[in-house]
Amino acid sequence: MVAVTARTIVKRFGATEVLRGVDVHVPDGGFAVLVGPSGCGKSTLLRLLAGLEEVTAGEIRFGERDVTRLAPRDRDIAMVFQSYALYPHLTVRDNLAFGLNLRKTDAATVASRVAEVSAMLGLEHLLDRLPRALSGGQRQRVAMGRAIVRRPQLFLFDEPLSNLDAALRAQVRVEIRKLHDQLGATSVYVTHDQVEAMTLADRIFVLNRGVVEQVGPPREVYEHPRTRFVAGFLGSPA
């Protein structure tokens, strides 16, 4: 497990300041949800945590480690996106093994990790299939499996449910939270969906135009919104 701390993060693209001094702290084992309307900077913040973009100013720490300038592969993270990004020509088994094979893991370890992860996600009977022969929910499960097979300390989710229909969304949402708890991971989860945020999070960060308007346990933020924006966005009681 690892705590995540982002301090006074600023991100500019050219003249546009997308993040304007954002602070995020997620304790060891915490499940944080970044929530806010489209375009407020959620994905950008997540990509900075992943190392896919560089901060303009500010500092990112995982536990004691300053990772601000580290490449993604040195950050020990797993990212799950809304598009599943599975390799279409590889079976489910080989998709799951892919992250490990890249690191020259021995065959016995690969086999046992793949078995462990497919049992966790109920994918055992699908291992020989190609992605095109899977449903949307099954594909998203394979994508999650591929992320967890390396046993990363930190999960980053960017709207992982938005391509699923409503019934599946609820089911996979519960599975994501269960996996997080089982693995003892730390998670940062991005969504524009208030219900997802309220049901998944230990702590929500409400973003608006590149700043965090409010942080706290979901119930508390919902019941005691500090700004009109937060109240309106979460649909808090008047």
Q: Which does 13 bind (CB under 5 to 8 A by kind): Mg ion, ligand ADP, none?
A: ligand ADP
Q: Which does 88 bind (CB under 5 to 8 A by kind): Mg ion, ligand ADP, none?
A: none
212 part of the interface to ligand ADP, by CB under 6 A: no
113 part of the interface to ligand ADP, by CB under 6 A: no
Tell me how far, at minimum, the Cβ of 213 lies from ligand ADP, in Å.
13
As a whole number of angstroms, the distance between CA 72 and CA 228 comes to 37
The answer to whether 218 and 197 have CB atoms below 8 angstroms apart is yes
The answer to whether 22 and 9 have CB atoms below 8 angstroms apart is yes
Q: Which does 38 bind (CB under 5 to 8 A by kind): ligand ADP, Mg ion, none?
A: ligand ADP
> Residue 18 or residue 120: which is nearer to ligand ADP going by CB?
18
CA distances from 146 to 31, 46, 139, 198 (A): 20, 19, 11, 26
Residue count, binding to ligand ADP (CB under 6 A): 11
E-strand spans in 109-164? Answer: 154-158
> Residue 46 or residue 78: which is nearer to ligand ADP going by CB?
46
Among 34, 30, 33, 74, CA closest to 52? 74
> Residue 158 or residue 213: which is nearer to Mg ion going by CB?
158
Residue choice 9, 18, 48, 185 for contact with ligand ADP (CB under 6 A): 18
Which 33-72 residues touch ligand ADP, going by CB under 6 A?
36, 38-44
Report the Cα–Cα distance between both ends of the chain, in Å, rounded.
39
Residue choice 2, 26, 41, 43 for contact with Mg ion (CB under 5 A): 43
CA distances from 141 to 14, 117, 159 (A): 37, 10, 14
214 part of the interface to Mg ion, by CB under 5 A: no
The answer to whether 58 and 7 have CB atoms below 8 angstroms apart is yes
User: Hey, is 187 helix, strand or coil?
Assistant: strand
Binding site for ligand ADP (CB under 6 A): 13, 16, 18, 36, 38-44
Binding site for Mg ion (CB under 5 A): 43
